[in-house]
Structure 1
Amino acid sequence: MRSEVVDVQTGPEESVYDLTGDCERFLAGIPGRPDGLLHVFVPHATAGLATIETGSGSDDDLLQVLQRVLPPGLGWRHRHGSPGHGRDHVVPAFLPPYAVLPVLSGVMELGTWQRLCLVDTNRDNPRRKVRLSFVDG
């Protein structure tokens, strides 16, 4: 198995960060253009992954839906951090912190508009680590 960690700066606002290019660079470094599985893992309790179209507004729509489904002012029991931070700890139940994607001839098998994105609603932690691991198949 080949594995590496990518550092991501998400910033002070809720964000959808496109990891697709990072994944493609990682896979390009694997000799022989193999078939296998790409496992992506976010080792944080307040972020998740989504396969979604970006650039057309869907990424902003996703953040808006999370605001409606998980409103910051709901009265979360988990209360440390900035106001509404408790919701950030629930986000991974809706957007898991992992994804597994098939890789054929060294290329992720994504649909035409699909991108793999880190979804980070936690304004208290603008730096994230993402582990990319390739399992040869």
Structure 2
Amino acid sequence: MRQATETLTIDTSRQGLVEVTTEIAAWISAQGVGTGLLTIFCRHTSASLLIQENAAREVRHDIERYFAQIAPEGAGYAHDDEGPDDMPAHLRTALTQVHLSIPVLRGRLALGTWQGIYLFEHRRRPHRREIVLHLLGD
């Protein structure tokens, strides 16, 4: 059994879903692990992680629009230290997740045909986000 870790830095340009599947899959491939488990952890409280469809762009747009409706800006939140998108970003993170676990089979992520891994940026301005990868396997 071996372990490997890495921190990916993702620069976001706006609110929304940023696909990171390719970067993560390339790192997995370089580790030489055939069977294992990958844990992905987002080190932020205003960004999160999702596994979602990666074929139709409309899916990403609809998800982004849905979260804007259920955690809207300008709803009179007490916490707005960093602007009107501050508290909605925290709520959107609370409704999603900051970690994922994905099996690795035959040296590849065991994602379904239409699944991709996304960093979900909940703030309007650009950010530099860190995602920690931890792979355990043989």
- Return the TM-score normalized by structure 1: 0.92
Q: CA deviation at 1:54?
A: 2.7
Partner of 2:10: 8
Q: 1:1-137 maps to which residues of 2 (within 5 A)?
A: 1-11=3-13, 13-31=14-32, 33-56=33-56, 57-136=58-137
Q: Deviations over 1:70-95 (max 9, x none)?
A: 01121122111122311111122111
In 2: Cα distance, 1:127 partner to 1:82 partner: 18
- Of 93-102 and 83-92, deviating more is 83-92
TM-score by length of 2: 0.92
Please state whether the residue corresponding to 1:128 is helix, strand or coil.
strand
Kept in 2: contact 1:5–1:131 (CA 8 A): yes
Indicate if the aligned counterparts of 2:85 and 2:124 stay in contact, CA closer than 8 A: no
- 1:95 partner amino acid: T
More strand by share: 2
**In 2, Cα distance between equivalents of 1:61 and 1:55:** 13
Q: CA deviation at 1:113?
A: 0.4
* Residue aligned with 2:43, SS: coil
Deviating 4+ runs (over 3 angstroms): none
- Alignment deviations for residues 82-125 of structure 1 (CA, whole Å, 9 cap, x no partner): 22311111122111011000110111111110101000111245
Cα distance in 2 for partners of 1:124, 1:76 equals 19
Q: Gaps spanning 5+ residues in structure 2: where?
A: none
Root-mean-square deviation (CA), in Å? 1.3
Distance 1:90 1:70 in 2: 6
Residue ranges of structure 1 left out of the alignment (5+ in a row): none
3-state SS of the aligned residue for 2:65? helix
Residue 21 of structure 1 aligns to which amino acid in structure 2? T
Q: Take 1:114 and 1:77, find their aligned partners in 2: how far apart are those partners? A: 37
Q: Distance in 2 between matches of 1:75 and 1:89?
A: 14
Structure 2 CA distance for aligned equivalents of residues 76 and 30 of structure 1: 45
Question: Matched residue of 2:48: which SS?
Answer: strand
CA-CA distance at 1:15 after TM superposition: 1.8
